[in-house]
Structure 1
Amino acid sequence: MPQSTLPLPPLDWLRSFEAAARLSNFTAAAAELGLTQAAVSQHIRSLEERLRHPLFIRLARGVELTPEGAAYLPHLQSAFATIANSTRELFEPRTIQSVTIRSPISFAVLMIAPKLAQMASDLPFVQLQIETIHTPADYGERSGGLDIRFGTGSGSFPGRQADRLTREALTPMAAPDLARIPDWTALPRLTVVGAREMWGEWFAAARMKPAIAPAHKFDSFVAALEAAKHGAGMVLGSRPLADAALRDGSLVALSDFALSGGAGHYLTAPSGAHLSRAEDDVRHWFATVFGQHMAERP
């Protein structure tokens, strides 16, 4: 004959046991649960009889868990936490919460904006407020909150935890009509001022000698990219930011060589900070969506 299954103890017995074990006192457990001490004592006695094992050693003042009780307690606490979390997620009314995120303007326009409709569907209780920055100094003194930052690794951001979102690869690109000329290195070069000026590094790594050509300067990559789409010259396209332009044909790659130094964009937050529920949702959403994007990139 099959062995009989031990019946699941009633929930009120288990709640009395958990509270008494956590507080090491039946009277304190009764006060927390809104019961009498006699009721808690009866619940625990009934539970011990059901399990056929003593769970407490009764002392002159308070109680102490037996080895069986100590082994049982963490399983119950885990189960209660799971039930509480599931109940909260499924039935607790949620209000719309605003999350501020600072981002380089190019990442905001080329990466975040195309995904906002998906975010609205995936995170209906999040209202995103995007503050665009042009230089690292624009992050200012505010150390809290979520930032998109560009760097060579998570160690680039002291005092902040970081989730990688992109891995940059640089490739010359131009509008289709310009790409047909015999010597594309003679095209006007569209540059981004500051640390993002990488034409010299690209030609050196590709072992090519560029022709002498005029250079037009922009203060953001997204502006240089738009100019390239309109035939103003060639841009050193930062992928995956420029991937959409390659897919829709508004730009074409001028070379098969891509320069990659391991740099990329990261979603950062203060190390050890307690993020709000909405901020934590956004952080995980960005890591999932853009992490998948990296895996699918050609």
Structure 2
Amino acid sequence: MSNLSLSNIPLDWVRAFELAGRTGSFTAAAKESNVTQASISQRISNLERRIGVRLFVRNPRGVTLSVEGEAWLPYVSAAFRNLDESYEDLFGIQREKITIFASASVNELWLAPRLRNWQSTHKPQIVLSTMVLQPDDSLLDTTIRVQYGRGEGKDLHKIPLFAEHLSPVVAPQLLATHASWLELPRLGLSGPRHGWHEWARQTGDPITPIPRLRFDSFSAALSAAVSGAGVLLASLPLAAPLLEQGKLVRASEFVMEPQETYWMIAHKDGLTKSQWDNVVDCLFAAEGSR
């Protein structure tokens, strides 16, 4: 390899190599960088001539990294990643307020208890805003949002709040009045979670009795369950404090484990990585890991 200094190599040549190596083609690299395929090809050819090494093997079906290219790519990718993150931290959006948009239940049962140490260690103000059921497009200006699903989407900071586990819970005094929890009134809950029909499908338990009380808020349904109004098919992570206090008990050992759960999401162009990391570290400190 040539002894020429890296300082003599234009940065856009190296960026073209990183994009093509990471995406697997000159065409994809051109699309990501908003230039032509010919421009990407020319920059990589210039880079190869300058360093005296073939970074890609050209063939009729496309290009593949050479041995040297494959060895260099992880270092180049890491360097650009560090450069992008330091640029964000130094020159990106410096927010005085970070809004977290979530359902009332998630705000009350999961987020609020975990933010107690925020103001003693961080400057931006955290605002918990309640999200009413509405299309995602209405939340585009939100700094951070929490939504139920599989965390799909590109160019996002994202992390699941927890692994979802669903199982029936009931007030112990109500459970004591019947031989089986299956005889007790059931509470209905609107929203994206699996409900009693899915429970019956997975367990073979009867779908009856049909819920006579239905709620559009998990926290309201949880309060009804604590009062002894009926059995609730609950998110165990959200119900954990009440279970630990003995105000609710598990009615069944069976647990449904859907792939969906609550994801905390933010657009990368609206929040720097360090700002995102500060929020994540504060929320997940009690768990000891992310």
Give the drift of 1:261.
1.1
Question: 8 Å contact 2:139–2:145 — kept in the other structure?
Answer: no
Question: What residue in structure 1 maps to residue 246 of structure 2?
Answer: 249
Give the drift of 1:172.
0.3
Question: What residue in structure 2 maps to residue 12 of structure 1?
Answer: none
User: CA RMSD of the aligned region, Å?
Assistant: 3.6
Residues 189-222 of structure 1 show CA distances to partners (whole Å, capped at 9, x for unaligned) of 1111243361110122112124434420111111
Question: What residue in structure 1 maps to residue 285 of structure 2?
Answer: 289
1:217 aligns with 2:218: no
Alignment of 1:80-99 (within 5 A): 97-99=96-98
Alignment of 1:102-117 (within 5 A): 102-117=101-116
Matched position secondary structure for 2:214: strand
Question: What residue in structure 2 maps to residue 239 of structure 1?
Answer: 236
Alignment of 1:97-136 (within 5 A): 97-121=96-120, 123-136=121-134
Match for 1:129: what amino acid?
A: V
How many residues align? The count is 210
> Which of 164, 167, 173 does residue 168 from structure 1 map onto?
164
> Which of 148, 151, 155 does residue 150 from structure 1 map onto?
148
Question: What residue in structure 2 maps to residue 179 of structure 1?
Answer: 175
Alignment of 1:33-72 (within 5 A): none
Matched position secondary structure for 1:229: helix
Q: Supply the distance in 2 between the matched residues of 1:253 and 1:293 (Cα, whole angstroms).
A: 26
Matched position secondary structure for 1:268: strand
Match for 1:142: what amino acid?
A: L
Question: 8 Å contact 1:145–1:269 — kept in the other structure?
Answer: yes
1:205 aligns with 2:202: yes
Matched position secondary structure for 2:102: strand
Match for 1:254: what amino acid?
A: A
Matched position secondary structure for 1:243: helix
Give the drift of 1:276.
4.5
Query: Structure 2-normalised TM-score?
Result: 0.61
Q: Supply the distance in 2 between the matched residues of 1:206 and 1:278 (Cα, whole angstroms).
A: 44
Query: Structure 1-normalised TM-score?
Result: 0.60
Match for 1:227: what amino acid?
A: A
Q: Supply the distance in 2 between the matched residues of 1:277 and 1:139 (Cα, whole angstroms).
A: 23
Unpaired runs of at least 5, structure 2: 1-5, 10-78
Q: Supply the distance in 1 between the matched residues of 2:288 and 2:204 (Cα, whole angstroms).
A: 33
Match for 2:164: what amino acid?
A: E
Matched position secondary structure for 1:125: coil
Question: 8 Å contact 2:114–2:284 — kept in the other structure?
Answer: no
Unpaired runs of at least 5, structure 1: 1-20, 25-77, 90-94
Q: Supply the distance in 2 between the matched residues of 1:262 and 1:195 (Cα, whole angstroms).
A: 12
Question: What residue in structure 2 maps to residue 37 of structure 1?
Answer: none
Moved more, 199-208 or 111-120: 111-120
Give the drift of 1:281.
4.3
Q: Supply the distance in 1 between the matched residues of 2:184 and 2:289 (Cα, whole angstroms).
A: 31
Residues 208-259 of structure 1 show CA distances to partners (whole Å, capped at 9, x for unaligned) of 1244344201111110001110111111110201111110111000000011
Q: Supply the distance in 1 between the matched residues of 2:131 and 2:250 (Cα, whole angstroms).
A: 28
Question: 8 Å contact 1:147–1:267 — kept in the other structure?
Answer: yes
Question: 8 Å contact 1:148–1:266 — kept in the other structure?
Answer: yes
Matched position secondary structure for 1:273: coil
Matched position secondary structure for 1:178: helix
Moved more, 129-138 or 241-250: 129-138
Residues 140-171 of structure 1 show CA distances to partners (whole Å, capped at 9, x for unaligned) of 152452111111x222x466342122111111
Moved more, 285-294 or 198-207: 285-294
Question: 8 Å contact 2:114–2:282 — kept in the other structure?
Answer: no
Residues 90-117 of structure 1 show CA distances to partners (whole Å, capped at 9, x for unaligned) of xxxxx99321110111110000121221
Q: Supply the distance in 1 between the matched residues of 2:101 and 2:201 (Cα, whole angstroms).
A: 34
Identify if the C-alpha distance between structure 1 residues 100 and 23 changes in structure 2 by more than 3 Å, giving closer, same or farther: farther
Percent identity over the alignment?
27
